[in-house]
């Protein structure tokens, strides 16, 4: 049986719990189709809007003196729980409707191991949380030692590191669950970043791991055959939005590197997806990554849509 990891963006889940409850049904139907086609499935998801709302709620309550502020690793853990709960229920229902009654859906709190010496910790660039005016941001920098920057002209925000994922703490348990015919929801929001102490224990750090890179690392560690990265478009394009736009059915690593050098993929949008896909394609023999739209993952696995990224 072939094994795949499906990576879903946080923006595809909506901006409110009610909206998310509806949006996850689309993902759930896609997952059910893939399971019915005979695949073992792991689902990873983003959490950008959701973890931002959690962080904002605690920040505002803390400023009002009602509760202590909440560390960012804990905010990520909360987002994994509530997004996972919605996905788990929706996928379970979709499997029932598809006539599949021998597959269990489970959400796994996921810690992603990062290197405490990763250069990203010396140059935090990932904006998180509340927008502040300049005076407040500078006061907070003095009081907390955190770094704040002006973000997109909307105000000042705290920035944290975005380190490269090294491994996943729960990797053995993940494989055990997949082998036991479970659909596993894992790696939410790129996982909770943790670093290893000298005594062998781990602790969370205020950072954000790119969700596509985390999904790629997870796919390697569970020996997946394919990594499917879901996005808002059916295929990757070069010259995107221009009269000479070209949709791609297939890309080799060499071609992808050329397109990146030519600046075809936007940072923070398609670029991290393509880089994660390239990394997975290079990680082992006969491994492929596919970038496609949310509703068409099953079709993409059959080669009828999406963009395949392969070694050569």
According to DSSP, the β-strands at 126-132 and 156-160 are antiparallel
* pLDDT > 70 fraction of the chain, expressed in percent and rounded: 100
The CATH code of domain 3-114+164-310 reads: 3.40.1160.10
Which residues are known catalytic residues? Answer: 10-11, 126, 211, 273
Confidence of residue 103 (pLDDT cuts 50, 70, 90): very high
Residue 247 CA to residue 264 CA, distance in Å, equals: 12
User: Angle CA(242)–CA(244)–CA(245) in degrees, nearest 5?
Assistant: 65
Longest dimension (CA), the chain: 59
SS3 label, residue 79: helix
pTM: 0.91
Average pLDDT over residues 52-56: 82
Q: Where are the domains of the chain?
A: 3-114+164-310, 124-160
Q: What is the DSSP letter of 204?
A: E
Asked whether residue 295 carries a pLDDT value surpassing 90, the answer given is no
């Amino acid at each position: 049986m072939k094994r795949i990891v499906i990576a879903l963006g946080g923006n595809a889940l909506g901006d409110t719990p009610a909206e998310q409850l509806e949006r996850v049904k689309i993902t759930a139907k896609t997952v059910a189709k893939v399971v019915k086609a005979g695949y073992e499935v792991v689902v990873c998801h983003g959490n950008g809007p959701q973890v931002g709302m959690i962080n904002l709620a605690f920040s505002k309550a803390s400023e009002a003196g009602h509760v202590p502020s909440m560390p960012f690793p804990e905010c990520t853990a909360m987002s994994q729980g509530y997004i996972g709960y919605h996905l788990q229920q929706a996928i379970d229902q979709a499997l029932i409707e598809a006539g599949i009654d021998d597959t269990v859906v489970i959400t796994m709190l996921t810690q992603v191991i990062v290197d405490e010496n990763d250069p990203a910790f010396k140059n935090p660039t990932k904006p998180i949380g509340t927008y502040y005016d300049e005076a407040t941001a500078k006061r907070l920098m003095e009081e907390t030692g955190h770094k704040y920057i002006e973000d997109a002209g909307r105000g000042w925000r705290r920035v944290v590191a975005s380190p490269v994922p090294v491994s996943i703490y729960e990797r053995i348990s993940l494989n055990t669950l997949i082998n036991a015919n479970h659909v596993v929801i894992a790696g939410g929001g790129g996982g909770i970043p943790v670093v290893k102490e000298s005594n062998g224990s781990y602790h969370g750090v205020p950072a954000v791991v790119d969700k596509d890179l985390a999904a790629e690392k997870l796919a390697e560690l569970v020996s997946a055959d394919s990594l499917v990265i879901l996005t808002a478009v059916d295929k990757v394009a070069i010259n995107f939005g221009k009269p000479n736009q070209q949709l791609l059915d297939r890309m080799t690593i060499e071609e992808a590197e050329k397109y990146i050098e030519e600046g075809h993929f936007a940072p923070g949008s398609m670029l991290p997806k393509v880089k994660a896909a390239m990394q997975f394609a290079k990680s082992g023999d006969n491994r492929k990554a596919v970038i496609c739209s949310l509703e068409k993952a099953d079709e993409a696995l059959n080669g009828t849509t999406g963009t395949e990224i392969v070694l050569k």
